[in-house]
Structure 1
Amino acid sequence: MTERTTPRETPSAPPAFEDLLRTVAEMNTPDGFKAELIRGKIIVSPFSKLRYSRRMRRLREQLQAHVPEGHFADTSPFLFRFPAAERGYGPDLYVADEAAFEEDGQHADGAALSLVGEFTSVSTKDADWNEKLDVYGSLVPVYLVVDMQDSEITCFWDPSPHGYRSRTTVSFGQPLHVPEPFDFTIDTTGF
């Protein structure tokens, strides 16, 4: 008996956003890795390096003292969905409305975010500075990019349909003002 290939029908259109979210939820990613929807694809990348931990913790502690009423700062891995952009991101650090975590399901609404902080790595730097900047820039009030390769931190604020209208960059060790709804200065000494 001769083996013949059996053609399989494949969808002609890319998977729908909700299908991709379901796939991410069902994935059994290896310990130390997270899955995100970037550029319409599921991307699996490692969690931050150990040397990032102190910086993440220091930033989270400073933010926690200034979060808006009903919000909290955390670094726990959760995927936030952005349906209009068909994206889902698991930020390194975030400040979000506690009410978003009362829902059933596995993905929080990106509209619940009041601040996102991404710590760049060689593998994520491009997405942090480009794609995520575009998506966050239309919705999230404050976006912090902690550039671990260039030893700088950038604060973006004043989102609009065309992206953030304002930004400030400082080198590690210099103070960085974070505008409303936080309105305080980050001490980057030791970053």
Structure 2
Amino acid sequence: MDRLRAQLARFEDAFPGFHVEIVEGSVVASPVRPFDGETVQRLWAVVEPQLPPGWDVVSGVVFPFDDAHEFCPDLAVVPADAVAENRIAYPADLIELVVEVVSPESVRNDYEVKNKQYASRGIPNYLIFDPQKGHVITLWNPGPDGYRGRDMLPYGGRVTVETRIGRLTVETSRLPVGPGSGGG
């Protein structure tokens, strides 16, 4: 796994602007679009100040799940002491909340594969922000086959998520939306 991780790091270095993960045993490289990057930056700026002491936000950090899945979430809320270790990979069990921003290339992975994988590891909350559709999906109550709780909210208002570490609120009206999305 360390050798594969090193190869992935070289791949990302060779192809800047791509997000690389292992999904269902395959190396998946997705281009990072301006709307994706802007959404991640805005979400980080909103989520981080709301976290209680002892928690922090990371982005693009490796979380191995098993030999077939190694994800680099767009944002993950994890214990601050783990972040302070400054490692290249962290146990998935540390994640309290995970956020993915959907691109056209990541639709299946974000909505289906990660839904099941994140839930099966017991990650309490999963948020999917979709600039192409102009909505956010909040998922909670993880089970072995996915999340049992699900809400879809159009961009344009506040989204509040109750987590074990406190309430997080995101104003979605300023998030970028794709042409023809109907959101925003």
TM-score range, shorter chain: 0.7 to 0.9
Distance in 2 of aligned mates of 1:132 and 1:29: 26
**Given the alignment of the two structures, is residue 148 of structure 1 paired with residue 148 of structure 2, yes or no?**
no
Q: Report which of the two has the higher share of strand.
A: 2
Give 3-state SS (helix, strand or coil) of 1:57's partner: helix
TM-score of the aligned structures, taking structure 1 as reference length: 0.78
Distance in 2 of aligned mates of 1:102 and 1:53: 24
The runs of at least 4 aligned residues of structure 1 exceeding 6 Å deviation read none
Give 3-state SS (helix, strand or coil) of 1:127's partner: helix
Contact between 1:157 and 1:179, CA under 8 Å: does it hold in 2? no
TM-score of the aligned structures, taking structure 2 as reference length: 0.81
Question: Which one has more relative contact order, counting CA pairs under 8 Å at least 6 apart?
Answer: 2
Distance 1:123 1:65, change over 3 A: same
Number of aligned positions between the proteins: 172
Deviation at 1:91, TM superposition (A): 1.2
Deviation at 1:120, TM superposition (A): 0.8
Distance 1:161 1:69, change over 3 A: farther
Q: How does 1:152-171 map to 2 (within 5 A)?
A: 152-171=135-154
Distance in 1 of aligned mates of 2:53 and 2:124: 15
Q: How does 1:8-23 map to 2 (within 5 A)?
A: 20-23=4-7
Report the AA paired with residue 37 of structure 1.
Answer: I
Distance 1:69 1:126, change over 3 A: same
Contact between 2:56 and 2:83, CA under 8 Å: does it hold in 1? no
Q: 2:49 aligns with which of 59, 65, 70?
A: 65
Q: 2:37 aligns with which of 37, 42, 53?
A: 53
**Residue by residue, what CA displacement relative to the aligned partner does 1:119-173 show, whole Å, maximum 9, x if unpaired?**
1111111110010111111221111101111110011112223321211111000
Distance in 2 of aligned mates of 1:161 and 1:19: 30
RMSD after superposition: 2.2
Structure 2 residue ranges without an equivalent (≥5): 176-184
**Given the alignment of the two structures, is residue 100 of structure 1 paired with residue 82 of structure 2, yes or no?**
yes
Distance in 2 of aligned mates of 1:160 and 1:104: 30
Report the AA paired with residue 38 of structure 1.
Answer: V
Q: Residue 136 of structure 1 corresponds to which residue in structure 2?
A: 118
Structure 1 residue ranges without an equivalent (≥5): 1-16
Deviation at 1:69, TM superposition (A): 3.5
Deviation at 1:96, TM superposition (A): 1.6
**Residue by residue, what CA displacement relative to the aligned partner does 1:69-99 show, whole Å, maximum 9, x if unpaired?**
3111243x2111113x731111112212223
> In percent, how many aligned pairs have the same letter?
26
More displaced 10-residue stretch of structure 1: 17-26 or 29-38: 17-26
More displaced 10-residue stretch of structure 1: 180-189 or 120-129: 180-189
Contact between 2:100 and 2:128, CA under 8 Å: does it hold in 1? yes
> Which of these two proteins has the greater Rg computed from alpha carbons?
1
